[in-house]
Structure 1
Amino acid sequence: MERGNSKHGAVLDEQMAQEVRGISQGVAGGRAEEWHTPEPSGEDQPPVSIAPNGDFGRGIPNGVGSAQGEALSRFGSFLGRNAFPGDRSALEASALAMEAPDDVLRRIRTLPEGRTFQNTAEAWHASEGGTA
Structure 2
Amino acid sequence: MSDGMERVSSKHSPRVDDNMAQDVSGLVQGPGAGGSRVEESRQPEPAGEDQPEPKTMTAGASRGGNPQGMSMDDVEGRSRLGRFITMSALPGDRDTLVANARENQAPADIVAALEGLPEGTRYQTVSEVWAALGHKNETTRW
CA displacement at 1:95 relative to structure 2: 0.4
Match for residue 88 of structure 2? 82
Q: Could you list the runs of 5+ residues in structure 2 that have no partner in the other structure?
A: 1-7, 9-13, 15-26, 36-61, 137-142
**Is 1:107 aligned with 2:116?**
no
Structure 1: stretches of 5+ with no match in the other structure: 4-16, 25-55
Contact 2:66–2:75, Cα closer than 8 Å, also in 1: no
Q: CA deviation at 1:66?
A: 1.5
Question: Is the 8 Å Cα contact of residues 85 and 104 (structure 2) preserved in structure 1?
Answer: yes
RMSD: 3.7
- What is the TM-score with the length of structure 2 in the denominator? 0.49
Identity over aligned pairs, percent? 33
Higher relative contact order (CA 8 A, sep 6+): 2
Paired AA for residue 105 in structure 1 = V
Q: Deviations over 1:68-106 (max 9, x none)?
A: 101100001001211111100000000011110011112
Structure 2 CA distance for aligned equivalents of residues 21 and 84 of structure 1: 34
Matched residues, number: 92
Question: Residue 62 of structure 1 contacts residue 69 of structure 1 at CA under 8 Å; is this kept in 2?
Answer: no
Residues 57 and 65 in structure 1, CA contact (< 8 A), matched pair in contact too? no
- Alignment-mate amino acid for residue 58 of structure 1: G
Q: What's the TM-score, normalizing by structure 1?
A: 0.52
Q: How does 1:1-132 map to 2 (within 5 A)?
A: 20=30, 57-60=63-66, 66-128=72-134, 130=135
Alpha-carbon distance in structure 2 between the residues aligned to 1:112 and 1:21: 49
Higher Cα radius of gyration? 2
What letter corresponds to residue 112 of structure 2 in structure 1?
A: R
